[in-house]
Structure 1
Amino acid sequence: MRDNCTAMLVGKKASLDGSTIVARDEDYDQGFNEKRFAYYPAKNYDELFVSKGTGVEIPLKGEGCGFTAVRDAVEDYGRFDEQGINSYNVAMSSTESEASNRRVFDGSQ
């Protein structure tokens, strides 16, 4: 079974009450994948980020912003911050599975 994750982001101008909303479903192999809501405060960076998955290296320097994240509660394969909103009210979602949808590749509607 493939992971087929879907996210919906609603900006404050698109919601009735001005809220920023992030929703996500995760069709995980076991059918259930416990999540944890976390907050990471702003901090100054002076470090090298190394991806555990690809080995890509990115130097991080300067002032970062605080952000929330919904992540896997069990970190057996690393920490996966799958969606969140930062202190500038920028929302994002990651680990999506558009690759499992043929329309992504062939442009069909």
Structure 2
Amino acid sequence: MTFVVTDNCILCKYTDCVEVCPVDCFYEGPNFLVINPDECIDCALCEPECPANAIFSEDEIPEGQEGFLQINEELSATFTNITEKKDPLPDYEKWDGVSDKLQYLER
């Protein structure tokens, strides 16, 4: 099993989750983070650290966001591995909690 970064991370990109990951399975794109499902050890440390509540166990992904499992897998192959916390994106407060942000995902 793996954890999955979902819609609310888009345009926020908090990185609190990255700091607690014992296996460095987070990858960073221009405006979104993903988890590599092959590297995730299902430790659940990242989920409570996400200020945007955008991380879910793959069996608890919110309805309508199931496609993020494939997105995480796909983009972890092209995004850059991230192991240290960074500042969120400049307009993160404006975007945190906005629904249906998939259209804004930069690959």
TM over 0.5: no
- The normalised TM-score by structure 2 is 0.22
- The normalised TM-score by structure 1 is 0.22
Structure with higher Rg: it is: 1
Q: Name the structure where strand makes up a greater proportion of residues.
A: 1
